[in-house]
Structure 1
């Protein structure tokens, strides 16, 4: 018996909501809509959605505010919908805990693929949690990742990470000294086969380093840039 996928579509333009609903319902997803930030936050806090498509520029509360408040309570995957000229807002959205963004005007097919990618990743994470054994804690000289508790500590002080920052750190830490390109990280961490902005990776790495650096400079140095290639996790950085 298949589980129903619940998606919340938030945009103040009815035309966009209708378009997204049409394409997502073709995948047999259950769609709910909100036309402003206040309504969106109330629905998101009171219901369990698998994915939220969240416009940034909206009346009452914008998408940034909604995501900020939502992250205080829930880790529901969020994909931001942004206008082309809103790069600063896109970065801000990622920093407040959005998983990714899609730029308007967008291809509805791209949106469907992004949603499916998030669903695959969530299913994979749940499977890993269900199969968790004694190897569920990664311990390094300056950093500890406790998968069961979903907690990261540096020098014994907890580091507050967004869900995507946590996933990125875990992925890199599981393969010390292995260099991953931005494209590989988009594919493995974001599960994107065809679409994805490489700046999404750079923004998350930057924020991850900053948060680690606030607690431990040595822990922050473990996320290493390999120029012209990508990033790696180095256990004993120089």
Structure 2
């Protein structure tokens, strides 16, 4: 469960991120490509595509979507998302996260993606990706 390593003393951001990535690789939860709801999230190319068109996202926006797409239907608390993307909950407040989510929604709407059906706000808790069945039927 990731308890095979421990941290002591001062830990630097780069070291902490590397350790988290190593644990995710070993657990098999760090997917390189996710295809869901007509989206293709490709970590190798740092691209999110809808209908073969790239949706331009900032790196943090790309990482937020990646966290949500890798575990659809899971409700992520604001704190969990901040830890997963920034690595330190003290560096970022929930207003910053909400701003990123708003930007993601806007960019996906611009690409004609039905983001409001999928990127769900769980009020007072956080966010989840709702993986509906095919919405084109």
Distance in structure 2 (CA, Å) of the matches to 1:233 and 1:195: 24
Alpha-carbon offset, residue 209 of structure 1: 0.9
| Residue of 109, 114, 126 corresponding to 1:230 | 126
- Alpha-carbon distance in structure 1 between the residues aligned to 2:71 and 2:101: 16
Once the two structures are TM-superposed, the CA of residue 226 in structure 1 deviates from its matched residue by 1.0
Higher relative contact order (CA 8 A, sep 6+): 2
* TM-score in terms of structure 1 length: 0.44
Superposition map of 1:101-180 within 5 A: 116-117=12-13, 120-121=16-17, 123=18, 136-180=32-76
- CA–CA distance in 1 between the matches of 2:116 and 2:60? 17
In 2: Cα distance, 1:137 partner to 1:156 partner: 14
Give 1:124 shift.
5.4
TM-superposed CA distance for 1:220, in Å, is 5.2
* Count, aligned residues: 121
Superposition CA RMSD, Å: 2.9
Residue ranges of structure 1 left out of the alignment (5+ in a row)? 1-111
Contact in 1 for aligned 2:120/2:129 (Cα 8 Å): yes
Task: Give the drift of 1:142.
Answer: 2.2
Compared CA separation, residues 124 and 157, structure 1 to 2 (3 A) = farther
- In our comparison, the structure showing a higher alpha carbon Rg is 1
Shift of 1:192: 1.2
Which stretches in structure 2 are left out of the alignment for 5+ residues?
1-9
| SS at 1:171 equivalent | helix
Deviations 1:2-56, CA, capped at 9 Å, x for gaps? xxxxxxxxxxxxxxxxxxxxxxxxxxxxxxxxxxxxxxxxxxxxxxxxxxxxxxx
Contact 1:155 1:216 in 2 (8 A): no
CA separation in 2, counterparts of 1:183 and 1:223?
17
